[in-house]
Structure 1
Amino acid sequence: MKLDDAYANAAYIPNGESYPPRWDAAAAGFRAGAKAAQLDLRYGSAEREKLDLFCPEGPPKGLFVFVHGGFWRMLDKSYWSHLAAGALANGWAVAMPSYTLCPDTSIAGITREVAAAVTHAAKAVNGPVVLAGHSAGGHLVARMLARGMLPDAVAARLQHVMPISPLSDLRPLMQTSMNDDFKLDEEEAVAESPIFMSDRVDCPVTVWVGAAERPAFLDQARWLSEAWGCALVEDADKHHFDVVDALADHESEMLRLLLG
């Protein structure tokens, strides 16, 4: 398809194929050493509607929800547990949901599942709520700011949202072979595109993207920043697979901005 190469990442990252197994191993090691982890908490009835909750020592300062990527078609929460380390060290609880993948559901269906996951986690942890998501997860956390997506009581607790390398205009994806799974038409692509969300919850937003990412992802990040009038950070030398690593570092600029 016309835009398949534009949205390909692994082929343009040195040893790109090595990243998923490395994520998997790091995440498994983190879970094995986690002192206060509640795994596979169910937030809905579908098989993949489960989340992991990691809690710090002492009362949490708030809740950080991280939503994984994978073009809404791949991966799950188990690949990313190690990214909870930074927020935990800063005293925040961290929730990481899985969700049903395309083509077993639509992108709109995934959006609703993530809203249910955020709502469920927010009931378990008091205080402010921050959201970050990577790639397709960046799209999903941006969608949480659509007014009415989250219950008013949860939306009122949102302190910061950070779409990382997000997909903000879904219309180009209709020109990829992945649309065999997405089954997007023009109407749903527009409805699910954050750049067209005019009625949004008032909440600080920072769009973050790796400066060494594919042009299509740099465009997608810029489009969201311009549409929403929010900050855009281009992280020097970072590509699509390592741009999220800073979440594991409790002293990173990414976490400083996200947690405040």
Structure 2
Amino acid sequence: MTLNENAGQGQTLDPRPSPLDPEAEYNNRARVPDHQAVMLRWRDSAAAARAAHPPLEIAYGPGEREVMDLFSAADDAPVAVFLHGGYWQALDRSWFSGLAPALLAHGVSLAIPSYDLAPAVRLGHILRQVRAAADAVRGLAGVRPVVFGHSAGGHMAACLLSEARASAAVSISGVFDLAPLIPTSINVALRLDAAEASALSPVHWPVPNGSTPGGTVLDCLVGADESSEFLRQSRMMADLWGGQGVETRYEALPGLNHFSVLDPLFDPGSALVKRIVGLAKAG
């Protein structure tokens, strides 16, 4: 299988089967009854941000959804890239424009790409698209961007770091081992089998190191109120790569669930925003 052009040797993971119900652990919309209210806040803040600071639309490929919004702080400002979630089968860039003001306040530009969605395309196709988006941002800025993402976007942020396409990655509520998704309803659209899930899981990908030209910083953040599996995935990834020379950080953010975990990104004074700003300016 060649879905990941840079796939390396598999890493040894905890072989013990989880006694937990995968559907209950990974179906976040079912776990959070008020998720729609949180998402409506995303939509409303996005509309306000776009009205106050209209983005530049940049095509990074020929497809209808191969477009990103660039909220520019200045022509020479560092650029961060946000990869949205939705389990690779929902949402687009327009939902997350509200993240821009907090970064713009610190002089950091924000690029938010859309990408095609399952089941119309496979996950490997989506990864190729976000590679192209990150490479397009690098072409504009002249340096690799810091990449941060939520849920599915957290998975893809780690993938881009592995491939030396990012100066650093902040994965928020990421899924780094896709195998547990196979028996869930989430996989109806993704259609992952065991081989494809393994090939597309960054826990099996090359670990970035000082001999590669990309970044070697990975933050794995998760809401403390998320499922035990999401907590385990982030801690596992931080421990795995941290044990092989990557500068990793794991943190469970108190009082936040899989949706409200994005709340700090709307606050220019939050530690999370300051962390992304620091990484962007250092990159």
Normalising to structure 2: TM-score of the pair?
0.83
Are the aligned partners of 1:60 and 1:92 in contact in 2 as well (CA < 8 Å)? no
For 2:150 and 2:70, locate their aligned partners in 1 and report how far apart those are by CA, in whole Å.
18
Given that residues 168 and 193 in structure 1 are in contact (C-alpha distance below 8 angstroms), is that contact kept between their aligned partners in structure 2? yes
Specify the alignment match of 1:85 in structure 2.
Answer: 101
Q: 4+ runs of 1 displaced by more than 3 Å?
A: 58-61
**Cα 1:82–1:238, aligned 2, differ >3 Å: closer, same or farther?**
same
| Residue type at the aligned position of 1:134 | H
1:112 to 119, 128, 133: 128
Code of the aligned partner of 1:136: A
Correspondences of 1:32-43 after superposition (within 5 Å): 32-34=51-53, 37-39=55-57, 41-43=58-60
SS at match of 2:22: coil
- The question of 1:55 aligning with 2:72 is answered yes
For residue 101 of structure 1, report the CA deviation from its aligned partner. 0.4
Match of 2:4 in 1: none
Q: Extract unaligned runs of 5+ from structure 1.
A: none
CA distance in 2: counterparts of 1:128 and 1:191, whole angstroms: 24
Q: Which residue identity is paired with 1:137? A: G
The offset of 1:114, in angstroms, is 0.3
Contact 1:60 1:93 in 2 (8 A): no
- Aligned: 1:196 with 2:208: no
* Aligned: 1:70 with 2:83: no
CA distance in structure 2 between the partners assigned to 1:128 and 1:182 by the alignment:
29
Cα deviation code 1:70-100 (max 9, x no counterpart):
0001011111001111111110111000000
Q: Name the residue aligned to 2:230.
A: 217
Alignment of 1:114-133 (within 5 A): 114-127=130-143, 129-133=145-149
Match of 1:30 in 2: 49
Decide which of 258, 275, 283 is 1:257's aligned counterpart.
275
Alignment pair present for 1:4 and 2:23: yes
TM superposition score normalised by structure 1? 0.89
Whole-Å separation in 1 of the counterparts to 2:237 and 2:181: 16
2:47 & 2:89 partners in 1: Cα distance? 21
**How do residues 166-181 of structure 1 correspond to structure 2 at under 5 angstroms?**
166-181=174-189
Partner of 1:208: 221
Where 2:252 maps in the other structure, the secondary structure is strand
How far 1:171 moved relative to its partner?
0.3
Match of 2:162 in 1: 146
Are 1:60 and 1:91, in contact at CA under 8 Å, matched by a contact in 2?
no
After the TM superposition, which of the residue ranges 238-247 and 65-74 deviates more from structure 2? Answer: 238-247
Query: Which of 252, 259, 265 in structure 2 is aligned with 1:247?
Result: 265
1:45 to 56, 59, 62: 62
1:116 alignment partner, SS class: helix
* Structure 1 residue 250 displacement after superposition: 1.9
SS in 2 for 1:131: strand
Q: Return 5-14 or 130-139, whichever deviates more.
A: 5-14
Report the Cα distance in structure 2 between the residues aligned to 1:256 and 1:244, rounded to whole angstroms: 14
Aligned mates of 1:247, 1:232 — CA distance in 2: 17
Q: How many aligned positions are there?
A: 248
Root-mean-square deviation over aligned CA pairs:
1.7
Do the aligned partners of 2:127 and 2:156 also contact (CA within 8 Å) in 1?
yes
